[in-house]
Amino acid sequence: MSSSIRIVGVFLIATLILGAATWLYNAGGASERNLIERQNNEAGNASDRARSSFDECFDAGGVFDSSSGKCRRP
């Protein structure tokens, strides 16, 4: 009788440890995914701003100099 209680106890402790490890793993992954998503959004916004200035340059009749990142007007 006591050996079966001991087996159940070991099983419960192992299950709790495994559950805690899984929760910690997922919690850490979520924060990293949020960080990556935030960086991706910032890069997308920077790209949109650059494309907007590129289009505005052509619309104004200028030539965009990609080496300097500025619009040269003729």
Q: Count of H helices and E strands in the chain?
A: 1, 2
The parts of the chain modelled with pLDDT lower than 50 are none
pLDDT at 1: 59
Q: What is the CA radius of gyration of the chain?
A: 28
Please tell me the chain's helix, strand, coil percentages from 3-state DSSP, rounded to the nearest 5. 80, 10, 15
Residue ranges per structural domain of the chain:
2-72
Tell me the C-alpha distance between 22 and 33, whole Å.
16
Which pLDDT belongs to residue 13? Answer: 96
